[in-house]
Structure 1
Amino acid sequence: MFNVVVLLVIGWLTPAKVGWSAIWAGIVLTALTLWIKPLVHRWFQSMAAKSANQRTKLGEKLVQFFLVLAIAVIVWVVTVALSGVSVGGWLWGWILPPVLLVIGWAIYDAIDDRVETHAGALYDRAAGRSAVDGSSNGATLAVPSPGTAAGARELQDGLTDEQRRMLDELGKS
């Protein structure tokens, strides 16, 4: 869905005509982003890594930016070729849309990272609560090992099993 929105923004800000082709182009763009983009990125990355030790930090950042931009150009060209998107103008139709794709990818990554972090925290909280209160919500809880059970008892009163046994024997005499 996010790719369809990015394509509609590209159609709105550039002379590229997206229209109803945004749905099919979104599917093509998603497939390219999931399968082709990582392969091309790895390939370009391996080529750039050969000379990475000769660049400054700024130079390396620029190379990384141009790698991502080159990948976005490839993804844009293939998306246009495989969908009903038509492009008018060289600069505005072929150069600006990949820049907008890179911006869209950055926004998506930021949103995705926040959602994953929040979902992970919610999952951890829910998993921790179900283990503490004993409700399993259909999941099977693992049976604690004797060492784990002894550790839990020690946390309750600060005594090891041997100390507890000695105190019990003291009370009997």
Structure 2
Amino acid sequence: MRKKYDEEEEELKQFYRSTEQREGRGQGGGSHRYIIASFLLVFFGLISLPLGRDCSAMTGIYFGREEIAWKGYKEGLAQAKREGKPALVIFYSETCSACKRYKGVLQDKDVVEASAPFVMIRVNTRQQPKLSAQYQFDGRYVPRTFAVFPDGRIMHHLYPAKRYKYFIGLEPEHLLSLMEKAQAEMEH
């Protein structure tokens, strides 16, 4: 998104440079127009950010490809219960650099395929702090990924005993391993 704004800003600069040259003003005469136009571009661009396609469940970070049918928390848990499917609940923050890297894991072809038997749920910790607090068993870090039974119980025993237990790593094989364990747990 930043690239788009940089390109638009460069187009504005070129436009005002050509306008100043045509009007014979040189370098400084029309700079106030450039400043006002840049301000409006940034201001209205920032206002429109939350209006994008991900505003309902994942504002700020687009997690995964279109193939993953992301759900909000309540909707996702209701679907898991109704369909008897396990769910993966991912807590994230749009300001978290690890979360931004984790989206690469969720775009991996094997992860997308492995997500089919799950209800995939994402929760923005800033938008839902009370819900996030309910899942802070070992800290407030993000991303946190929970495999849950269809009734909403967390499969705590699938995670290794470590300090940040629900941080599963930023490689596809870590998430794939968790998904495989959760599927095996459902078969028992």
Whether the TM-score (by the shorter chain) exceeds 0.5 is: no
Q: TM-score, normalised by structure 2?
A: 0.27
Please identify the structure whose Cα radius of gyration is greater: 1
TM-score when normalising by structure 1: 0.29
